Amino acid sequence: MNLDYFIASLPMLLPGHPPGITLEAFRAACAEQLAGRLAAAVQALLDDTDCDHPFVRAWNAHETRLRNAVARRRAARLKQDPQRWLRPDDAGDLRVEHGVAAAFELPDPLQRERALARLRWQAVEALQGIQPLTPEVLLAYAVKLRLLARWTLLDDALGRQRLEALLSAQPSPRP
């Protein structure tokens, strides 16, 4: 199948909405339709691994900047030195720093995680560019699908159920 047709056949992904395709189905379709460097790049993005593709390197660099900014914020809250949690980074990005700072101002951890996910979504859209039906669009699709799959796990009711299960599994304190 032609790459243009393959990309056009994929369901649209919208932030905050469940994806119309599972990670497994997308992975299988890519394995069937793609080959070579593009297939390896898609797999690296789906598996969160390294790859020598420029898009994957750019995405991983953004993730490192974002995770470093989060580590600095968390360390500041604990009044600790963040150095042991930081990874080598090419340069800071003020948009990432400001976005993470704004996310950490939110009182609810779920809201904070969603704000960080929006930062990731915006970054991957910038990486994909404005041209439709390019390899970058497909690579951005892989990242967006991973983000949406994670978003579906960030459910308030499910989180409360898990917390209740953890609390009920702990032995009660002795008097």
Residue 175 lies in a domain: no
- Whether residue 3 contacts residue 135, with contact meaning beta carbons closer than 8 Å, is answered with yes
Q: How many domains, in total, are found in the chain?
A: 1
Domain containing 60 equals: 3-169
Asked whether residue 137 is domain-assigned, the answer is: yes
The token duo for 122 is 């915006």
Token duo for residue 18 = 């469940």
Q: What is the pLDDT of residues 28-58, one digit of tens each?
A: 999 999 988 999 999 999 999 989 999 999 9
Per the domain annotation, does 174 fall within a domain? Answer: no
In the numeric block, the tokens 């800071």 are attached to 92
63 lies in a domain? yes
Q: What is the pTM of this model?
A: 0.82
Domain presence at residue 87: yes
- Per 3-state DSSP, the chain is made up of helix, strand and coil in percentages (nearest 5) of 70, 0, 30
Distance from C-alpha of 1 to C-alpha of 114, rounded to nearest angstrom: 35
pLDDT digit string (tens) for 59-75? 999 999 999 999 988 89
